[in-house]
Structure 1
């Protein structure tokens, strides 16, 4: 880590030492850099400071444990999510079997599938299943189990094995947090098993994430960035080009 970045992070840690928060714009002014530079600093750091709802907080401060609201997330970064899914759709070929993850980031992807022949979509997310079920010619495999309304997902102990029995060409994964050192994470622990199973068995693993998730750590870790073949994003992951990590596609 370069000296200037270390100095900026030290200044931010000292500011947050009392247990409060600072807005991203305030942090940028404090350090005399742009908001994007602060994001890059956080992404390259040890994860002691995270970005939560546009504010910087200490990662181990229990007062700021986040809650997930699917309706709120639906409106967040709407245009960015549409652009990201349009880029993601460029990887799909006729006849593919796709795993599509839960949340709202990948919802626009369903609108890109109608013109492709012979697709099968595998999901454990009710909102994704509802969108795909309206597409003529697309076969839907909805993985069942106990329903979790907070994320509109199903969970079952046998789900991982069910995913592994399927021949999945491409797994499209979403995340609530992506950190260059602390990996890829989500809000809910019941989502970890299906995500990991899809990553383990898919021929190609694609992470689709908007810039608001970068430099962020959420409670449930499920993968390292190196577990993905492609990351489709509209932000800067803070990865060195010579790290040998995933291919980065910008939208």
Structure 2
């Protein structure tokens, strides 16, 4: 890397330390060069700065860390997730068809549904499907395909059509990031299609997240805040944390 490139990267690193993220075009304008030049600077650098979905971020910033493993996440915020799922279950009515997203946040929701006798659960998550299968009163629709062990979820090219054929009363959605400007995001790009399909198909879209997800951006964007009808969170205020990014 030449001296001018190093100065540009150092300048951008200082800005990102304060702001968290920059659009690529904004970073180029700040440095008085083209976006391609910024891309070349990053390619020649030591990896301190990276591009995610058109945004420049610091690789070490925990808000944008692209690492996720369901087993690692299982016990994090476990009590909060159970409490959130109890709130979410209050929205369910006998006879509903529910979409339940992947991840660990919504896994406790299945236990809250055990007393129902006329519910259908649609999911692409193996951990959710396994829990539903233990309750004979619940009908299971598993959206299959290529299995991803890290998230215990399935990927299929036909998920849009499969979900579109279903009349879903309520979609319970999870997110790894909820940001006022950048919307709803997750770690894995294969999760985007089923999440978007559920948002499009459901009569009510319910986002269930603990407070640690608010103000955070993850690599794969799947929606905007106005795609959601109801936010269930353990934040002090369920809407105000979405106005500004969370301070780290």
Q: TM-score over 0.5 for the alignment?
A: yes
Structure number with the bigger relative contact order (C-alpha 8 A, sep ≥ 6) is: 1
Map 1:141-156 to 2 at 5 A: 141-156=141-156
Q: For residues 73-123 of structure 1, what are the alpha-carbon distances to aligned partners after superposition, in whole Å with 9 as ceiling and x for unaligned?
A: 100000000000000000000000000000000011000111122000000
Question: Is the CA contact 1:209–1:232 (under 8 Å) kept in the aligned structure 2?
Answer: yes
How far apart are the structure 2 equivalents of 1:196 and 1:18? 33
How far apart are the structure 2 equivalents of 1:210 and 1:232? 8
Whether 1:48 aligns to 2:38 is no
Aligned to 1:62: 59
* Higher-Rg member (1/2): 2
How far apart are the structure 2 equivalents of 1:211 and 1:66? 19
Q: Provide the TM-score with structure 1 as the length reference.
A: 0.73
Aligned to 2:82: 82
How far apart are the structure 2 equivalents of 1:237 and 1:90? 17
Aligned to 1:229: 229
Question: Is the CA contact 1:67–1:187 (under 8 Å) kept in the aligned structure 2?
Answer: yes
Whether 1:108 aligns to 2:81 is no
Q: For residues 216-236 of structure 1, what are the alpha-carbon distances to aligned partners after superposition, in whole Å with 9 as ceiling and x for unaligned?
A: 000000011110100000114
Map 1:1-251 to 2 at 5 A: 17=14, 48=21, 60-64=57-61, 65-235=65-235, 236=237, 239=240
Q: Provide the TM-score with structure 2 as the length reference.
A: 0.73
Residues matched between the structures, number: 197
How far apart are the structure 2 equivalents of 1:167 and 1:92? 15
How far apart are the structure 1 equivalents of 2:101 and 2:20? 25
Q: For residues 201-250 of structure 1, what are the alpha-carbon distances to aligned partners after superposition, in whole Å with 9 as ceiling and x for unaligned?
A: 10000000000101100000001111010000011465499x9xxxxxxx
How far apart are the structure 1 equivalents of 2:60 and 2:212? 21
How far apart are the structure 1 equivalents of 2:71 and 2:152? 10
Question: Is the CA contact 1:160–1:194 (under 8 Å) kept in the aligned structure 2?
Answer: yes
